[in-house]
Amino acid sequence: MSGYSDGFGGAWKLIFTLDPDLYEIIFLSLQVTITAVIIASIIGLPMGAWLAVNRFMFRRYVIAVLNALMGLPPVVVGLFVYMALSRAGPLGGFGLLFSPAAMIIAQVIIITPLIASISHQTIRDLWAEYHDLLISMNATRTQRIRALLWDGRRALLTATLAGFGRAIGEVGAIMIVGGNIEHATRVLTTAIALETGKGNFAFAMGLGLVLIVIAVIINLAIHIVGKTERASTW
Amino acid sequence: MKLILTALFTAFLAMAAHAETMRVAVTTSFYNSGLSEVLLPEIKAELDLDVELIVVGTGQALRLGEAGDVDAILVHARAAEDSFLAAGFGTHRREIMYNDFVFVGPPSDQANVASAQSATAALQAIALASAPFVSRGDDSGTHKKELSLWASAGIVPEGTWYRAVGSGMGATLNVASGLNAYTFTDRASWLNFGNKADLILLYAGDPALFNQYAYIPVNPTRWPHVRYDLALELENWLTSDRAKTLINAYMINGENLFFFNAVRP
Q: What is the mean pLDDT of residues B188-216?
A: 93
Residue B199: its pLDDT value, please?
Answer: 94
CB B214 within 8 A of CB B93: yes
Question: B23 and A38: CB-CB below 8 Å?
Answer: no
Give the pLDDT confidence of B127-177 residue by residue, as tens digits.
999 999 999 988 889 999 999 999 999 999 999 999 999 888 888 999 999
Nearest to A148 by CA among A116, A132, A114, A124: A124
Distance from CA of A92 to the nearest CA of B (A): 9
Residue B18: its pLDDT value, please?
Answer: 55
Summary mean pLDDT of chain B: 91
Give the pLDDT confidence of A24-52 residue by residue, as tens digits.
999 999 999 999 999 999 999 999 999 99
Residue B2: its pLDDT value, please?
Answer: 54
Question: B193 and A199: CB-CB below 8 Å?
Answer: yes
CB B205 within 8 A of CB B122: no
Domain span including residue A150 = 28-202
Rounded CA-CA distance B74/B227 in Å is 15
Indicate whether B214 pLDDT > 90.
Answer: yes
B chain contacts of residue A194, beta-carbon cutoff 8 Å = 55
Residue of B nearest to A183 (CA): B52
Distance from CA of A36 to the nearest CA of B (A): 12
The band of B17, judged by pLDDT with boundaries at 50, 70 and 90, is: very low
Residues whose CB is less than 8 angstroms from the CB of residue A184 and which lie 6 or more positions away in sequence, other chains included:
A98, A99, A100, B52
Give the pLDDT confidence of A57-110 residue by residue, as tens digits.
888 999 999 999 998 899 999 999 999 999 889 998 898 999 999 999 999 999
Give the pLDDT confidence of A158-194 residue by residue, as tens digits.
899 999 999 999 999 999 999 898 888 999 999 998 8
| Span B100-209 CATH architecture | 3-Layer(aba) Sandwich (3.40)
Q: Which residues of B129-168 are buried (b: 16+ CB within 10 A; e: fewer)?
A: bebbbbbbbbbbbbbbbbbebbeebebebeeebbbebebb
Indicate whether B5 pLDDT > 60.
Answer: no
CATH code: domain of residue A158? 1.10.3720.10
Residue B237: its pLDDT value, please?
Answer: 96
What's the number of CA atoms in the CB half-sphere (13 Å) around residue B168? 25
Query: How many structural domains comprise chain A?
Result: 1
3-class SS shares of chain A: helix, strand, coil, % to 5: 80, 0, 20
Nearest to B162 by CA among B121, B209, B128, B196: B128
List where CATH 3.40.190.10 sits in chain B. 16-98+210-260, 100-209
Indicate whether A122 pLDDT > 50.
Answer: yes
Indicate whether B203 pLDDT > 90.
Answer: yes
Under CATH, domain B16-98+210-260 is a member of which superfamily?
A: Periplasmic binding protein-like II (3.40.190.10)
Residue of A nearest to B14 (CA): A31
Question: A87 and B170: CB-CB below 8 Å?
Answer: no
- Tell me how crowded residue A132 is: count the other CB atoms within 10 A of its CB: 9
Residue A19 forms part of a structural domain: no
B chain contacts of residue A100, beta-carbon cutoff 8 Å = 15
Interface test with A, best of B50, B73, B195, B225 (most A CBs within 10 A): B195
Q: Which residues of A62-98 are buried (b: 16+ CB within 10 A; e: fewer)?
A: ebeebbebbebebeebbbbbbbbbbbebebbeeebbb
A chain contacts of residue B225, beta-carbon cutoff 8 Å = 87, 95
Rounded CA-CA distance A200/A223 in Å is 35
Question: A182 and B52: CB-CB below 8 Å?
Answer: yes
Distance from CA of B8 to the nearest CA of A (A): 7
Question: A197 and B15: CB-CB below 8 Å?
Answer: no
At A137, phi and psi to the nearest 5?
-80, 0
Indicate whether A225 pLDDT > 90.
Answer: no
The band of A223, judged by pLDDT with boundaries at 50, 70 and 90, is: confident
Size of interface A-B (CB pairs under 8 A): 78
Indicate whether B16 pLDDT > 50.
Answer: no
Residue A77 forms part of a structural domain: yes
Rounded CA-CA distance A72/A74 in Å is 6
